[in-house]
Structures are given as structure tokens and as C-alpha cells.
Amino acid sequence: MNRTTVNERLTVLYDADCGFCTRSARLLRWLDARSRLDIRPLGGAPEIADSPAIEVLREAIHVRDRDGRWSVGGAALVRISREISVLRPAGIVAGFPVIRRLVEPGYALVARNRHRISRLLGDETCRIDAAKS
């Protein structure tokens, strides 16, 4: 099996206080057969020298590539999809101009409703967003 070294992996930071985010991180780990992702809860962010502030990280998924470039929100999901074989077709389709314009609004819609989605899935509600509703 072709495993990727830690330095070559894409770092994915997610909100472990959110049921939907935690479920999504588990799914990504399961799909990541080639170990292309280093999936960490936000508590692991301080270990990354150029990490955004925790308040910023809580607003959306953040991904840092091996060259130190950050992707956020929908762009982060597209970046992740290009690393995982089974998701690669979605990453390619997301590059089409019409679809590209829908990625961020689609991500924002899900992110705004993640506490509701968590509740529907029977997961722990996102503590941060639940206080707002």
C-alpha cells in the first residue's frame, strides 16, 4: 500500500465540538485509504506555526497543504476531494465554472445549518452554533 509521509499530507482542521464536523472527519478518515490527510481537531492548530486564530478556524474547515498554502470552506473541500481517490471526480467537477460558483454558497449553507444537520443525524449538536439559534 502506498502510504504518504506526514510531511506530504494535507492537514485538515475541523471543529471537534460539532457533531456534523466530527462525523465528516470520521468519514474522511475512512475514505482516506492512502493516508493523504492529516485530520486534526482544532486543538491541534497551535502546533502549526502559521495557523489562523481559533475563532477564525471555528468558522469553517481549514486545510493546509505541504507548501503552507491554506484553503478555507468550500475551497478546502475541493482541495480534500483532489487528495482522496473516490472523491476526485467531485473535485474535477467543482473546477467547472458553473459549479465553481456554487461551491462556496453551498458550503456556507451547510456550515450555517451544521447544528440542525447534527440534530437530524442524531449527533451532538454543534455547541457554538446551537447557542445562536
The model's pTM: 0.80
Query: What would the grid cell of residue 116 be?
Result: 440542525
Tens of pLDDT, residue by residue, the chain (133 residues): 455 555 688 999 998 888 888 899 999 999 999 999 999 998 766 677 788 888 888 888 999 998 999 999 999 999 999 999 999 999 999 989 999 999 999 999 998 988 888 888 887 666 554 444 4
| CA gap 97, 86 in Å, rounded | 22
Contact between 118 and 10 under an 8 Å Cβ cutoff? The reply is: no
Backbone torsion region of residue 13, taken as left when φ is above 0, otherwise alpha when ψ lies between -120 and 50, otherwise beta: beta
- For helices 114-121 and 97-112, angle between their N-to-C axes, nearest 10 degrees: 70
Classify residue 132: in a domain, yes or no. no
Classify residue 63: in a domain, yes or no. yes
* Overall number of domains in the chain: 1
Classify residue 77: in a domain, yes or no. yes
Classify residue 35: in a domain, yes or no. yes
* Chain centre to alpha carbon of residue 43: 15
Which domain, by its residues, includes 101?
8-126
Classify residue 113: in a domain, yes or no. yes
Classify residue 43: in a domain, yes or no. yes
Classify residue 26: in a domain, yes or no. yes
Closest among 110, 94, 111, 92 to 102, alpha carbons compared: 94
Classify residue 112: in a domain, yes or no. yes
Max Cα-Cα span within the chain: 46
